[in-house]
Chain A
Amino acid sequence: MKSFKFIKLYAFAGILLFTFSCKKPNEDVPVIELQDNRVFVINEGPFQSGTGSLSIINRDSLTVQNNVFEKINNRPLGNLVQSMEVFEDKAYIVVNNANRVEIADAESLLSLGTIENLNMPRYFLGISTEKAYVSCMDNTVAVVNLNNNTITKNIACGTGPERMLLVENKTFVLNLGAYSVDSTISVINTGVDTVSATIVLAAKPNGICNDKNGNLWIICSGNGWNGWPQASDSKGHLFCINPNDYSIIKDIEFPTNTEHPEKLVINKSKDVLFYVMTDGIYEFEISSTELNTNPFIACNTMFYGLGFDDKIEYIYGTDAKDFVQNGWVYRYNSIDGALVDSFNIGIAPNGFCFN
């Protein structure tokens, strides 16, 4: 009798083992609806071992689709999706820590290949139908031949080149400083792909826009971290420069060296700038000579991403929360700064692509 009990016990254990060894079939992959009136949200993804993703917000239906690239192409984008540009009907998605740019059809998002062998790429800028620039953390801007998606040249810039802006035949490259500090802008002559000038501004040039007068606006964060005052901190600056002779038209200093402004976007009529501080989004009229002391859109968190949607003239901000959960996108009316709506988005949203 006793041994029978034991047999039962082992049989039970065996069933348990078997049950746990079985696999469940995969879930069905949901169908993505890709529509015209859409905004891409770039989600960096979890910092260490995750993958970044793309989300789509539909301006009409106000619906969100997350993780669209993976759903369409059955593979993740890769670790730390930094930015995205649509150029010549193709989407170029820069995957920083995977050393590559993913190319996809801008309509269907079907993968069309990759640009490989980039060293920690940050931003993509289309120059001509045959040529693009990719800023990389190896202190260069890679010149990419868009016919075969190979790198033809690396243009040495300052430390940690990031955002770029094309004005006629000049590309202005902001040297943010990577893990250290830089205060310069490299100007690349796009005809010959060489640096023709270096403009010295202030520490950590972070964002660049051109206004209706043809002038350039650059925001420099200053040295240091928000919320972590150190002796080495320096003040942020907002510069207006002439793109032809690089002369400084305006240099507006931020009042303290403990607050470091970030991001810079301009409205549709190109006369009002927006940037972020720890207490919200600030507005700056280009004719002004003084900074606003109060935020245009007050918020208890510093937006991780900032965008201006010319089509509907909304300001977009992202909140990355704890960087390990889905973040949020907030949309504000650019006239009075009123909150329009908000969307739960992918992990660590850092920016937008309005096409």
Chain B
Amino acid sequence: MSSQQIPEENLPVEQGTAHGAVEGAGDPFADPGLPAHKPRIQDIDERAANRSERAVALMFTLSMLATVGFIASYVIFPVDKIVYIWPFGHVSALNFSLGLTLGLALFLIGAGAVHWARTLMSDVEVADDRHAIEATPEVKAKVLADFADGARESALGRRKLIRNTMFGALALVPLSGVVLLRDLGPLPEKKLRKTLWAKGKQLVNMNTMEPLRPEDVVVGSLTFAMPEGLEEDAHDFQSQIAKAALMIIRIEPDNIKDKREREWAHEGIVAFSKICTHVGCPISLYEQQTHHVLCPCHQSTFDLSDGARVIFGPAGHALPQLRIGVNSEGNLEALGDFEEPVGPAFWERG
């Protein structure tokens, strides 16, 4: 399917080959050539030209003043001064004055230059020839001949052993660079399957940092919890909380539709992963009447009274539930880790 198969008559006739009135005296659509230049007021009236000059000079002068204003603002306004400016409201005096003066200083240089170009510089349109980009056949022939000479002198085509080993060496050497990238990070292994939760770990209220007790969790409330022992100043706090964050709500046990959910709950207190199974945003919008939670990022909606199944949005599967109970001190505790990986799905999730 090359161009050679296309007959020339499919291509339109090119119009006009050179600038200026050329072809077909009888053709009403023939190119009449460049129109005559229409002089501007500045071209014929010296006073108008002088006015333009003064306008341009005024803009450049105002720009200088604006730059002085910029430096003055920098010196005068303290960095934390807030002022009220209508209609922008309460703004930083420094940011506002620096931005306006800098903006003016720059804008006026531009406006002056453009006004100068438009009113005082020649606006006579001129035509320049284009030249074919493709090389002439002679040039092409010379280049091909030169290349053939060079290729022959290199003996690359004749001495195949050199050629093949060179290609081999060049193909292999980038592997070193690839190998060097290996330590960018560890292998996934089972990391995405495990969280800090384990049998006997107490649920810590993220607001009070105290262990949660069943009586703290009332119907209609939403509580966020993390495993005991995880400290905010731990070096891996962010990575751990990204998997372990929990949502705790209480539903009347009779209102829990999913049998497993009821079994894994403690007196209607259920613990679900807070990390959305879509792409991992923390879910935070809870509708207490319907027991729906909504992820504010992509609006996946889960029904917490029915095994946290997806009822709307792009998430692909239910939120994992954590099995909980009460320990001897009367605090809520986990009865194990999540049974499935939390957060977004991945190839090895299965």
**Do the two shown chains form a genuine complex with each other?**
no
Write the residues of chain A forming the contact surface with B, with a CB cutoff of 8 angstroms: none
